[in-house]
Amino acid sequence: MSDSAVPPRAGDSDVFRAEADEPCPPRRRPWVLAAAVLGSTMAAVDGTVVNIALPALQQDLGATLVKLQWVVEAYALLLGALILTGGAAGDRFGRRRIFGAGTLVFALASLWCGLAPDMTQLIIARGLQGVGAALLVPGSLSIISAAFPKAERGRAIGTWSAFTALAMALGPLLGGWLIDNASWRWIFFINLPLAGVVLWVLRVYVPESRDRGVGRTDWWGSALAVIGLGGIVLGLIEGSRLGFAAPSSWPALAVGVVALVGFVAVEARLRTPMLPLGLFRSGDFAGANILTILLYASLGGLIFFFPFVLIQAHGYSATGAGAAFLPLIVLILVMSRWSGGLVVRVGGRLPLVIGPLIAAVGFGLFALPNDGVYWQSFFPATVVLGIGMAIVVAPLTTVVMTSLNEDQAGLASGVNNAAARIAALLAIAGFGVLFTATFDAGLTQGVEALSLQPDAQIAILNQLGRLAAVDLTGVGDADTQGAVRSAISAALVDGFRAVAVVAALLAALSAAAAAVMIGGRPAPLKR
């Protein structure tokens, strides 16, 4: 659930809002909605289900933690860095054209993912999936906005939101079932028939639309965003593996920082930047995005490592791991309408302080010692986290949308959506440093306590990056190997608990950001 770190939000309905010269005929509108729903479903399900597949990938392809991180990060990097550009490209070159191109790229990349014989090809294919998703995710909403008149647009977008949320809830269950009963490769193959239907509907029923007044596409900003974020992610991941003094670590971090500084400089000078820096003069908008980065970093980091603990430390099936976060999604769906009404009654600041604090308690509950039994250990934590996130999601969207002028509302929501995705991207790399250090220290201590032969100890400690996939061939008898596996499980739990503690701290900081920067009652949309 790397992209899973971005639950469906009401504000996503306004991302890249498009105005059509003439909405399409009524008989075509259900088909337009179907294409948008199926397209966004592919991206949403792929984002939620891949984390569940990581332990199976490790077993099948012998992957290290670093390569598993890149399976998620390659997708998240290109999606997060290019999503604003994808929306702008649709406005300029044609929304149906760009949405169709994204769907085709996503489908071909999914085929490549499913056929990938090794981790290197899988990582490259996942990056290509991210490019496709960056084109189709904003396009799914813009073609709805272009096809439906204002009077019907809200209901259409509500339908889109409901189906996308349902896909995010059921996707991990379906993916886990496919992993348990067929192969991890089928979580990618299942995209092919969906993409075929989307492309057919686009060709037959969806009219083309574009914004004739849109400026030039910000390719320089896109390139610098990819290089900057990619350099930081590479540096963090390599640093967790080799240390931050390694030649592959600190230069990557340096390049990333320089590229992001260059990105800010370019955006400040362009007439039509993908990220207008003037947006952040609004304290509410800046505060909402800081909250988003901190809170969604917490969620993204926790969700990445949770399946490892469930499957490799506690023996859950992939289906069971896929169902573990279902209460969180359900609570967001059930409570979002109520929490959206809070903004009208009490303003934006209070729910954006209380919600993250409750979420922080939920993250903290994951860090408590437990026996691994879901209903006793993880269900309470998931419920508390879900309540906290449900209180946050709708008010956060409202604050973002009302913090700027009405004609900037779509861009504001798009920026906030990208911020949530980028936060999860950086969190997986950053939390990986903490998880790796904690796991390595715990397993080293556990192995030393077993008094193994020196060559056996060396053989195990040379495989720390493989987590539970350590090859124990020749390491003592069956009892000894069982003791080593128990030490591995304990080290995994230690690493996850460290991640949960830091996630709780970041969530609490997000509440502090809201308290300091966000006003009490959001103003109506400015004109």
In this predicted structure, the answer to whether residue 458 has a pLDDT above a threshold of 90 is no
Radius of gyration of the chain (CA): 23
What is the pLDDT averaged over residues 494-500? 95
| pLDDT at position 205 over 60 | yes
Helices (H), ranges, 243-369: 250-269, 283-308, 318-323, 326-346, 349-366
The residue count for the chain: 527
Extract the tokens encoding 465: 């990056």
When mean pLDDT is compared across 250-259, 318-327, 465-474, the lowest value belongs to 465-474
Q: For residue 216, give both structure tokens.
A: 């030039």
Q: Which two tokens stand for residue 251?
A: 């230069």
DSSP code string of 438-498: HHHHHHHHHHHHTT--HHHHHHHHTTGGGGGG---TTSS-HHHHHHHHHHHHHHHHHHHHH
Instruction: Name which residue leads in pLDDT, 215 or 380.
Output: 380
Q: At 180, which amino acid appears? A: D
Residue 311 has pLDDT above 80, yes or no: yes
pLDDT confidence of residue 213: 60
Query: pLDDT tens-digit profile of 55-113?
Result: 899 888 888 888 999 999 999 899 888 888 888 888 788 888 999 999 999 999 999 99
Token pair for 461: 């400690």
Scanning 347-472, the segments in alpha helix (DSSP H) are 349-366, 374-377, 379-402, 409-449, 454-461
Residues whose CB is less than 8 angstroms from the CB of residue 252 and which lie 6 or more positions away in sequence, other chains included: 231, 232, 234, 235, 238
C-alpha angle 233-235-239 in degrees, rounded to nearest 5: 120
Most confident range (mean pLDDT) of 6-10, 244-248, 333-337 is: 333-337
Percent of the chain at pLDDT > 70 equals 92
What is the DSSP code string of 40-99?
HHHHHHHHHHHHHHHHHHHHHH---HHHHHHHHHHHHHHHHHHHHHHHHHHHHH-HHHHH
Is a pLDDT exceeding 50 seen at residue 15? Answer: no
The residue type at 358:
I
Over residues 266-275, mean pLDDT:
85
Q: Which of 98-107, 254-263, 274-283, 359-368 has the lowest mean pLDDT?
A: 274-283
CB-based contacts of 235: which residues, under 8 Å, 6+ apart? 244, 249, 250, 251, 252, 253, 254, 256
Q: What's the pLDDT score for residue 525?
A: 52
Closest CA to 466 of 444, 493, 488: 488
pLDDT of residue 409: 65
If DSSP codes are grouped into helix, strand and coil, which group holds residue 11? helix
C-alpha dihedral, 460 to 503 to 85 to 394, nearest 10°: 140
Confidence of residue 23 (pLDDT cuts 50, 70, 90): low
Per-residue pLDDT at 286 exceeds 60: yes
Token representation of residue 253: 């971090």
**Other Cβ atoms within 10 Å of 454 Cβ, number:** 7
Those residues whose C-beta lies under 8 Å from the C-beta of residue 303, and which sit 6 or more positions away, are: 1, 2, 4, 5, 51, 325
Give 25's contacts (C-beta < 8 A, 6+ positions apart).
none
pLDDT of residue 483: 87
Residue 364 has what DSSP assignment? H
Cα separation, 307 vs 461, whole angstroms: 23
Backbone angles phi, psi at 405, to 5 degrees: -65, 155
Q: What is the pLDDT at residue 2?
A: 44
Contact of 255 with 213, CB cutoff 8 Å: no
Contact 126, 74 (CB under 8 A): yes
